[in-house]
Amino acid sequence: MDALIKSLRPNQPADAKSADSKSSDSKAPASKTAEARPAALDPSEFLAAAVSADQPRPSRAEAEQAVHVLLNYIGENPEREGLVDTPRRVVEAFDELYQGYHQCPAEVLDRTFGETAGYDDFVLIRDIEFTSQCEHHMMPFYGKAHIAYTPVERVVGLSKLARLTDIFARRLQTQEHLTAQIAAAIDEVLKPRGVAVMIEAEHTCMSVRGVAKHGALTFTSRFTGMFRDNPAEQARFLSMVRGSQR
């Protein structure tokens, strides 16, 4: 149920990987520890706003016209009373649902506090509810994020981890990438001794279309530092998270 996320951005090009695999018979197998450590994400993916102020974008009128076209495509009459304002409403909803593209994750984690009285255990926030949109079908997936980190001298405000989750969730996503981005941002900005992130979510692209399996949950997890290297800390984190599932 709890698996380390595979590398999303391999550190070497495809040709190099092919060359390595061709010569693998003559090499000793890599250690399990090395294989388990995922490649780091490019910091530009998770530290800055995803949309720059000068990035060319369609106008609001063009976006509303696109919704008009989609209404025609499904066989509707965009001019009937119930749909006349739908293009405007859809674009306004997009502005809200995808506001994470315009927000900077690093700024959310920027303010920390040093009044910890020597606290040296991990901090866990569980059951952070979120809603995101699947990048494959643009349909919602929603659930809970559980986040822990072991601070070094300074801690971040508790609400900031929930805000960080929302910033990444309010973009087109896969659950795997969402999990990796949250962990990478905390690891890069706070420089803790370790980070643990687990996300459980239901995907409507699976529950209301396709195989239509309502209630099926997907679990993803990402561990860095002491959580990655110490199985006992992983187990303690998972035990505390599961304690909430009564």
Q: Which long-range contacts (CB under 8 A, 24 or more apart) does 61-68 make?
A: 63/87, 63/91, 63/94, 64/88, 64/90, 64/91, 67/91
User: Torsions phi, psi of 196, nearest 5?
Assistant: -130, 130
For residue 136, indicate whether it is catalytic.
yes
Q: What is the DSSP letter of 107?
A: H
**Conformational region of residue 14, where left means phi above 0, alpha means psi within -120 to 50, and beta covers everything else:** alpha
For residue 137, indicate whether it is catalytic.
yes
For residue 203, indicate whether it is catalytic.
yes
Q: Which of 103, 173, 175, 234 is catalytic?
A: 175
Q: Which of 177, 203, 233, 234 is catalytic?
A: 203
Largest CA distance in the chain: 71
For residue 135, indicate whether it is catalytic.
yes
In Å, how far are 62, 63, 66 from 58, measured between CA atoms? 6, 7, 10
Q: Which of 45, 76, 176, 205 is catalytic?
A: 205
Between helices 175-190 and 158-169, what is the axis angle to 10°? Answer: 140
The DSSP-derived string for 117-141 is TT--S-EEEEEEEEEEEETTT--EE
CA–CA distance, 188 with 163 (Å, rounded to integer): 17
Q: Which of 62, 129, 135, 153 is catalytic?
A: 135
For residue 173, indicate whether it is catalytic.
no
Burial label, 91 (beta-carbon count in 10 A; 0-12, 13-18, 19+): middle
Q: Which of 64, 103, 133, 134 is catalytic?
A: 134
Q: Which of 45, 65, 137, 202 is catalytic?
A: 137
CA–CA distance, 154 with 231 (Å, rounded to integer): 25
Active-site residue list: 134-137, 175, 203, 205
